[in-house]
Amino acid sequence: MVAGAPRVFVSHLSGVAVFDPNGDQVGRVRDVVVMLRVGGRPPRVLGLVVEVVSRRRIFLPMTRVTGVESGQVITTGVVNMRRFEQRPTETLVLGELLDRRLRWLPQGGGATSATTGEDAGEEVTVLDVSMVQLPARRDWEIDKVFIRRGKGGALRRSGGVRAALPWKGGGGRRGGETLTVDWSAVTGFRLAEDGQGAENLVATFEQLRPADLANVLHHLSPKRRGEVAAALDDDRLADVLEELPDDDQVEILSKLKEERAADVLEAMDPDDAADLLAELPADEQERLLTLMQPQDAAGVRRLLSYEERTAGGLMTTEPIVLRPDATVADALARIRNPDLSPALAAQVYVCRPPDETPTGKYLGLVHFQRLLRDPPFTLLGSIVDTDLQPLAPGTALPAVTSFLATYNMISAPVVDESGSLLGAVTVDDVLDHLLPEDWRETELRGAEHLGPVTENTDGR
């Protein structure tokens, strides 16, 4: 979905089939997981509870959902089969939000019914909520609440789907008018802003950039740091861990259950996950690698096999790889991915299949500026730069630094003796190893005066 597309009412998702990109059914949606936020802000949608064939219920993050349309959910195909366990900061929409009695504040705005009522704080029942995808991002949030006025009983259920559906009209049902209002027009869902639990801290810190949230965690007590880390979702915690000093990373990871720790490592960039695992004892390192998804673990194991201060030890195993018969349009679509760092989005690497690292024969690279100059239908094989020699995995850090500086590059390919692309070294990873070992701690000490809740305007 994109901005302006019809919203999705959560009850309409109940029982909907979930498919991978090949059209194979993964399971069916059983609930939607959200995180409530302070200040009456709409809840963030974290993911879906999906029941797979074995009747096991798993968690599917919204970042792995590529489409919600035509009565089906499409995923990226990467699904973690571990059993879903609800965390303290998570709320189930179907299981916990619907049928609740709340107060509706008509003067707060947002009513879509012709009749809005005159008494502020009128008691209503929640029949449904809707969710929308935010523009230009893969984040989703709850935006509307479908309510019934009056004090009638709870709705009956039929086949897991609500009997009263907001998209079928808002006439009176069971003695009360139904209408759709903005999330901000009802009260009773919201977190108490004066609470001191980790749930409230996570909601308060949600708008901080990962580096700023790392600053907050660094200055909390170890006990409090562990509570907040445990309350963060996997992707958010992974981003924050990448910005923390090694000691803090190890401390936080050691307090998580091993299965949760493996999930977080999977969500981290492979090179950062490898750096963190390298700080752990060998037996603990191996246990976590065994718990990780085999594909994710394989990339991290390869990185751990190289010396730390070499191109192989510095690289990420997830650069943009395309075949020579891909077009400029294909490449531009890939680099638009908002989850990519600027360094990885700066160029694409052209290789023979297979496309996953280690790839087939490496042919060369195409910088994004060249992509902007050529027609969308141009084949990458016809514009690939073959003059720049790639780095060998054993190339030492000083030579990697000189390579990037000499050719004004912000990332460089790493290719093995057989000619296969292993990964790419980015300038930010090089800087991490050129700066003093305690640079993160120095940075965090220097940022202490900024305070723990400095917000930025982009909502990330």
Domains and CATH numbers, the chain: 8-94 (2.30.30.240), 96-187 (no CATH), 208-305 (1.25.60.10), 321-434 (3.10.580.10)
Confidence of residue 120 (pLDDT cuts 50, 70, 90): low
The residue that leads in pLDDT, 11 or 363, is 363
Does the pLDDT value for residue 436 go beyond 80?
no
State both tokens at 221.
């007590």
Q: How far apart are CA 237 and CA 202, in angstroms?
A: 11
CA-nearest of 358, 365, 453 to 412 is 365
* Concatenated DSSP letters of 255-311: HS-HHHHHHHHHHS-HHHHHHHHTTS-HHHHHHHHHHS-HHHHHHHHHHHTS-TTBH
User: With pLDDT > 90 as the criterion, what percentage of the chain qualifies?
Assistant: 44
- 59-116 pLDDT, tens digit per residue, is 999 988 888 877 899 998 778 888 888 887 788 888 888 888 888 887 654 444 434 4
Mean pLDDT of 246-256: 92
- For position 204, what pLDDT does the model report? 61
Q: In which residue are the tokens 């509870």 written?
A: 49
| Helical segments of 33-129, H only | none
CA-nearest of 9, 3, 5 to 29 is 9
Q: Classify strands 411-415 and 72-75 as parallel, antiparallel or unpaired.
A: unpaired
Does the pLDDT value for residue 442 go beyond 90?
no
Q: How far apart are CA 96 and CA 239, in angstroms?
A: 29
Does the pLDDT value for residue 288 go beyond 80?
yes
Q: How far apart are CA 127 and CA 165, in angstroms?
A: 8
Does the pLDDT value for residue 247 go beyond 80?
yes
Confidence of residue 250 (pLDDT cuts 50, 70, 90): very high
Confidence of residue 239 (pLDDT cuts 50, 70, 90): very high
Confidence of residue 439 (pLDDT cuts 50, 70, 90): low
**What rounded mean pLDDT belongs to the chain?**
82
Q: What are the residues whose beta carbons fall under 8 Å from the beta carbon of 184, sequence distance 6 or more?
A: 40, 42, 108, 109, 110
- For position 110, what pLDDT does the model report? 45
- For position 137, what pLDDT does the model report? 65
- 144-194 pLDDT, tens digit per residue, is 999 998 765 444 443 334 444 554 444 444 457 889 999 888 887 765 444
- For position 406, what pLDDT does the model report? 93
What does pTM read for this prediction?
0.62
- For position 412, what pLDDT does the model report? 95
Amino acid identity, position 289: L
Span between the terminal Cα atoms of the chain, in Å: 20
Confidence of residue 238 (pLDDT cuts 50, 70, 90): very high
For residues 62 and 33, is the Cβ–Cβ distance under 8 A?
A: no
Does the pLDDT value for residue 447 go beyond 50?
no
